[in-house]
Amino acid sequence: MSEESNRIQSRLIRDLEPVVAVELERHISVQKNWYPHEYVPWSEGRDYAGPLNGDAWEAKDSRLTPVAQDSLVLNLLTEDNLPSYHTEIAISMGRDGAWGNWIERWTAEEARHAIVIRDYLMATRGVDPYELEDLRMAHMSLGYQTPYENDMLHTIAYVSFQELATRISHRNTGKLSDDPIAEGMMQRVALDENLHMLFYRNTLSAALDMEPNAAMRAIADVVTNFDMPGANMPGFGRKAVQIALAGIYDLQQHLDDVVAPVLRAWNVFERTDLSGDGLVAREELAAFIKSAGADAQRFSEKREIHFERLIARGQEPIRIPR
């Protein structure tokens, strides 16, 4: 970061602390405590092959479609990397005062997500347990590092979008699972993600009022270069394509259900307090959204052609009902 960026960040970390304290108090007042073990059908479980001499996993054990398996695995592995996320956020925001209290609370709540999804998959034999553990080891060994040099503004902008994206992916994964238990579990996890998004979105809204140009630059950088935190995991590209085809999470949803509502909450395109690089950043953002919208439309058209071909061959496409 430049010397000026460092000064802005230091000032914002100080001036935003009262906002963070209020947002943390609001979050705790609306967040309802929950327990992962209550969402897992333990009675369906049985011992696996190994030291307990149970039954080896077989593909026919799973009641999930291949795309539901892919999506649950991708979501779980993303949640598994929480230690890296905690480190990155703690470095960028600091662990003093209200900032530190929020980071520890957020981490504790996020930890439930991997616990409940993995327990569900193991109890129901939803996926190959050996493959899942090998993927976890590979993914966590890579870790996660933010591309924004531990810049607080960019980090908060990123998680504002990422938490909402994760909420939608979790919710739609549950819908496509064709299992009421999985759907209820993923709805519960998605609710956490939405509350986390509100904290970060509201905090950045205050930052926009304090430092509009620097905050707008952070927003534009994040939106125009956005990747989910699990993008470096083995097999991510293939899984992401199948997830997009099924309507769990695609570019159009990203633009309509993630980018647009967050930008609207920040009043991005109506602000009159921008100048210099802030105005340039907003223009870059507008141009990107227009270009990405055209890309999303092309993908949707190709997906429909793909589905028509499947139907013509007597195959029913796996997708979320519209």
pLDDT higher than threshold 70 for residue 56: yes
Which are the contacts of 79, defined by CB distance < 8 A and separation ≥ 6?
110, 113, 114, 117
Query: Which residues have CB under 8 Å from 226's CB, separation 6+?
Result: 158, 161, 162, 254
Q: How confident is the model at residue 99 (pLDDT cuts 50, 70, 90)?
A: very high
Q: Can you give the pLDDT at residue 322?
A: 59
Q: Which of 218, 186, 286 is nearest to 1 (CA)?
A: 218
Among 65-74, 210-219, 234-243, 244-253, the least confident range: 234-243
pLDDT at 12 over 70: yes
The domains located in the chain, with CATH, are 3-312 (1.10.620.20)
How much is the pLDDT for 51?
96
**C-alpha to C-alpha distance for 289 and 268, rounded to whole angstroms:** 13
Task: Judge if pTM exceeds 0.75.
Answer: yes
Across 144-148, average pLDDT: 84
Whole-number Cα distances in Å, 281 to 220, 256, 278, 285: 6, 20, 5, 6
pLDDT in tens, 232-285: 887 888 889 899 999 999 999 999 999 999 999 999 999 999 999 999 999 999
- pLDDT value, residue 1: 63
Q: Average the pLDDT over each of 13-22, 133-142, 233-242 and give the range with the smallest value.
A: 233-242
